[in-house]
Amino acid sequence: MKKLLVLLIALMALTSCSKEEGYGGLASISGKVYAKDYNSSGTLVSEGYLAGMKVYISSHDGNSFYDDVDTYPDGSFKFDFLHKGTYDVWVIGDCDYCPWDQVYVLKTIEVTSKKEDVVVEDFVISI
């Protein structure tokens, strides 16, 4: 009985140390959202970094998102306290007049170390 108990405790200790994607770590992912505004004739009328856009994060190919943040006035965003792993980060555009079907921009991002700060290229959306 003692051997079984020791084996069970050892198995629990080994499996509890493995960390999956998600919150609780020391890594981060940051970037900026750049928007292009088109009028009803499809002409670009303005562009620039955009405040107040929702940016979402989930584990890669996950069924639901972990969290969302709003972009700051300079268009920047940051997700802190992440573990190593692969994440999907996306922004949803909202362009009623665009002749193309841009619904969202998704990037798959790899965090390779415990304390890494991954800075991604700008998300360019149409509004």
Q: What is the pLDDT of residue 35?
A: 92
Predicted TM-score of the model (pTM): 0.77
Domains of the chain: 20-126 (2.60.40.10)
Answer for the pair 21, 86: CB distance below 8 angstroms, yes or no.
Answer: yes
Q: Which residues pair with 68 in a beta bridge?
A: 56
**pLDDT at residue 8, as a whole number:** 46
pLDDT value, residue 106: 93
pLDDT digits (tens, 9 = 90+) for 58-100: 998 777 678 999 999 999 999 999 999 999 999 988 776 665 6
